[in-house]
């Protein structure tokens, strides 16, 4: 029996915020967590998310956007929503998952602004997610 906490991180597109959160929690939480991320309307992992995560030594280039439907019937200790839309459209999971909501700004789409402006926003959101997850890890007490 594993002592790892099972965590599902949800967002709408599973393309930026939840992907970065998955990478950060895996990295910062070490062997304490089994982490997945998914979206209510999955898209594709954003290049900017991969770029800003690489800057802090975390490679998420092998991650893929997944539908929340892929996790139907699985038990989680925590279901974390990182955007309001995911919270409102989050399906019910079996078991006794603790639901946590912490909304983060949605980085702009590739069609908005120049690359450096978008990446600066991705960095800010990445750092906010990282700080929140470090507090989450400290509170979890595994």
Q: Could you identify the residue written with the tokens 């770029």?
A: 51
Q: Are 121 and 32 in contact (CB under 8 A)?
A: no
Helix, coil or strand: residue 17? helix
Q: Are 68 and 17 in contact (CB under 8 A)?
A: no
Helix, coil or strand: residue 7? strand
Q: Rounded to whole angstroms, how far apart are CA atoms 77 and 122?
A: 28
The CA distances from residue 65 to 21, 58, 118, 132, in Å, are 13, 17, 20, 22
Beta carbons within 10 angstroms of residue 120's beta carbon: 15
Residues assigned a catalytic role: 11, 83, 90
Helix, coil or strand: residue 127? helix
């Amino acid at each position: 029996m594993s002592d790892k906490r099972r965590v599902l991180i949800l967002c709408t597109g599973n393309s930026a915020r939840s992907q970065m959160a998955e990478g950060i929690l895996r990295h910062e939480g070490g062997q304490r967590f089994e982490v997945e991320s998914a979206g209510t309307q999955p898209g594709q992992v954003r290049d900017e998310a991969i770029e800003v995560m690489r800057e802090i030594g975390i490679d998420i280039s092998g991650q893929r956007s997944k539908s929340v439907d892929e996790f139907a019937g699985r038990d989680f200790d925590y279901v974390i929503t990182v955007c309001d839309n995911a919270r409102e459209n989050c399906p019910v999971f079996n078991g006794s998952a603790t639901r946590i909501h912490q909304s983060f700004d949605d980085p702009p789409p590739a069609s908005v602004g120049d690359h450096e402006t978008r990446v600066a926003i991705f960095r800010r959101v990445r750092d906010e997610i990282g700080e929140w997850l470090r507090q989450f890890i400290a509170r979890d007490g595994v």
